[in-house]
Amino acid sequence: MRRVFAVVYAVRSVETCRGQLRASAGLTALTNPLISFIKHHLGAGPEADDAESLRLELSHLQQKYDQVMEENKELRNRLLQYEPAQDVGTE
């Protein structure tokens, strides 16, 4: 929640600066990249949506990985019932 307030505060601050710069010398070209940079690095704007979808995908893949590892463990245990583990170097 604190991050959201930080983003809102930063965007408002940039918008205030942007208005002052626009009135003073027409430096809007400088502020547009600045606003994009701040929004990108503080998690505002469309990039945050992409990051959220990537987080969800990561979570889904982590669950799938855990399931596969558990299945692998179970299958190894079943295999050991039929074929005892062979020690390395003793053939």
For residue 53, pLDDT beyond 80: yes
Which one, of 16, 75, 6, lies nearest residue 44 by Cα?
A: 6
pLDDT score of 4: 58
pLDDT score of 66: 97
Distance CA 32, CA 88 (A): 64
pLDDT score of 90: 53
Task: Give percent of the chain above pLDDT 70.
Answer: 57
Convert the pLDDT of each residue in 19-28 to its tens digit. 666 666 655 6
